[in-house]
């Protein structure tokens, strides 16, 4: 029998979020049912609600940084059991048969990409997927990660998107003790980028538009700070970095940042998912620089990231809110006022 769920979502790009009731599917044999205790607020949730990228299907119920407790499992599930504390990120399903899926890159599933946690199309019944701003969720077992024993459950949720989206490129490009890393944009993703790169042993520089975040950046683990609007500071940092993680959430000129890369340096863009202005090819040819992108990270890598954070005691800086504060939280996110991730505490009511 499908179950009745409660959540918060929106019916159009110009409407605030409001309480909604909807159905969750009956358990399939490989499904896990989760009572959600916490959901992080990612800037992508806001982009989707406001249809910034086009393609939002309404009503949309966002939320892809999810932590909760297993309440039921399908007949074929072996990895999770009732009572386990688990976590779900941006994906809830994929074909699990193609090369990308088998190699742990489910997001690039060759059969139509992975199924996203919200605003996605369920690959079995065609229904619109609905995310973590809700009381419970049903997810295919492979896409459910285990929260390591002893972790502070209230602060885990943002790891499932902000954490893995920054951990994955840092790992893909071998960031370690000899790396000079810059993180651009001190928001939800950026603050995790700083913590993770520092924990991997890199020398980390925060590049921000907001001078008042300087002290925070150092507390988060940054060794150095550059204010990107200060041309002198930017010029002085030319050719300095091996790796730049760029989390700016909107289109922008990447040339000033490319100039900061040293020989064979790479900038990975994770934030701006929209058309970008061009750049001079000479900036890549000079110093053999590269620019690329990165999409979240795979499920095995997400579990690795959770285990890494548990071992190193790394948590996001969370501001806990009630579900009915979500619209106010979105406005503060737009005004660049969050330090550094909102987490909805479902225990305070939906
Ligand atoms: P966020 O909390 O709003 O942080 C973004 C930060 O970027 C801001 O705190 C600000 O930092 C800086 N910034 C904002 N507007 C800027 C502008 N116009 N120019 C320069 N810097 C600006 O957002 P988030 O949750 O970290 O998400 C960042 C982006 O990543 C979003 O677009 C989101 O959709 C995307 N995302 C991508 C993936 C992926 O798979 N690639 C996954 C998750 C999220 P300062 O004040 O320090 O300048
Ligand atoms: Zn996200």
Q: What is the mean pLDDT of residues 261-273?
A: 97
Number of structural domains the chain divides into: 2
> Which atom in ligand 1 lies closest to the alpha carbon of residue 162?
43
Q: What is the mean pLDDT of residues 60-75?
A: 98
Q: What is the per-residue pLDDT for 1? A: 83
Q: Tell whether 177 and 37 lie within a shared domain.
A: no
Q: Tell whether 12 and 154 lie within a shared domain.
A: yes
Does the pLDDT of residue 323 top 90, yes or no?
yes
Q: Tell whether 77 and 141 lie within a shared domain.
A: yes
Give the H/E segment covering residue 214. helix 214-220
> Which atom in ligand 1 lies closest to the alpha carbon of residue 42?
25
Hey, which of 47, 55, 184, 189 would you mutate to test ligand 1's pocket, going by the most ligand atoms within 8 Å of its Cβ? 189
For residue 127, which phi and psi values (nearest 5 degrees)?
-75, 165
Asked if residue 308 belongs to a domain, the reply is: no
Q: Tell whether 108 and 170 lie within a shared domain.
A: no
How far, in Å, is the centroid of ligand 2 from the Cα of 44? 5
Pick the residue whose CA is nearest to atom 27 on ligand 1: 43
How far, in Å, is the centroid of ligand 1 from the Cα of 1? 40
Q: Tell whether 73 and 25 lie within a shared domain.
A: yes
Q: What is the per-residue pLDDT for 143? A: 98
Q: Tell whether 231 and 289 lie within a shared domain.
A: yes
Q: Tell whether 192 and 105 lie within a shared domain.
A: no
CATH number of the domain within which 62 lies:
3.90.180.10
Alpha-carbon distance of 340 to 238, in angstroms, equals 28
Tell me the per-residue pLDDT of 81-104, one tens digit each, with 9 for 90 and over.
999 999 999 999 999 999 999 999
User: 39: Cβ–Cβ under 8 A, 6 or more apart, which residues?
Assistant: 63, 65, 66, 67, 131, 132, 133, 134, 157, 343, 344, 346
Q: Tell whether 202 and 185 lie within a shared domain.
A: yes
Q: Tell whether 114 and 36 lie within a shared domain.
A: yes
Number of Cβ atoms within 10 Å of the Cβ of 284? 15
Quickly tell me which residue has 């969050």 as its tokens.
338
Asked if residue 299 belongs to a domain, the reply is: no
Which range of residues forms the domain containing residue 40?
3-158+316-345
Tell me the per-residue pLDDT of 182-236, one tens digit each, with 9 for 90 and over.
999 999 999 999 999 999 999 999 999 999 999 999 999 999 999 999 999 999 9
Alpha-carbon distance of 201 to 304, in angstroms, equals 17
Q: Tell whether 207 and 153 lie within a shared domain.
A: no
* Listed residues: CB within 5 A of ion ligand 2: 42, 44, 161
């Amino acid at each position: 029998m499908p179950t009745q769920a409660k959540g918060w979502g929106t019916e159009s790009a110009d409407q605030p979020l409001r309480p909604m009731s909807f159905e969750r599917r009956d358990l399939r044999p490989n499904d896990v049912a989760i009572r959600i205790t916490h959901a992080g607020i990612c800037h992508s949730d806001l982009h989707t609600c406001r249809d910034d990228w086009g393609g939002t299907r309404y009503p949309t119920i966002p939320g892809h940084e999810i932590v909760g407790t297993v309440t039921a499992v399908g007949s074929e599930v072996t990895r999770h059991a009732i009572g386990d504390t688990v976590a779900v990120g941006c994906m809830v399903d994929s074909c699990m048969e193609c090369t990308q899926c088998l190699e742990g890159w489910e997001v690039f599933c060759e059969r139509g990409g992975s199924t996203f946690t919200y605003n996605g199309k369920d690959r079995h019944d065609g229904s619109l997927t609905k995310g973590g701003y809700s009381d419970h969720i049903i997810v295919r077992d492979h896409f459910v990660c285990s929260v390591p024993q002893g972790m502070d459950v209230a602060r885990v949720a943002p790891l499932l998107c902000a954490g893995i989206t920054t951990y994955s490129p840092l790992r893909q490009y071998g960031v370690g003790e000899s790396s000079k890393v810059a993180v651009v944009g001190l928001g939800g993703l950026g603050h995790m980028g700083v913590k993770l790169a520092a924990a991997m042993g890199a020398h980390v520089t925060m590049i921000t538009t907001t001078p008042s975040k300087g002290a925070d950046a150092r507390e988060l683990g940054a060794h150095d700070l550059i204010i990107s609007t200060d041309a002198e500071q930017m010029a002085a940092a030319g050719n300095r970095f091996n790796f730049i993680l760029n989390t700016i959430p909107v289109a922008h000129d990447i040339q000033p940042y490319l100039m900061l890369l040293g020989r064979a340096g790479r900038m990975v863009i994770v934030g701006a998912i929209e058309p970008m202005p061009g750049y001079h090819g000479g900036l890549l040819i000079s110093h053999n620089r590269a620019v690329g992108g990165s999409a979240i990270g795979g499920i095995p890598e997400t579990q690795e990231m959770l285990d890494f954070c548990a071992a190193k005691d790394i948590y996001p800086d969370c501001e806990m809110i009630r579900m009915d504060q979500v619209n106010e939280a979105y406005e503060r996110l737009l005004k660049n006022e969050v330090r550094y991730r909102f987490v909805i505490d479902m225990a305070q009511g939906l």
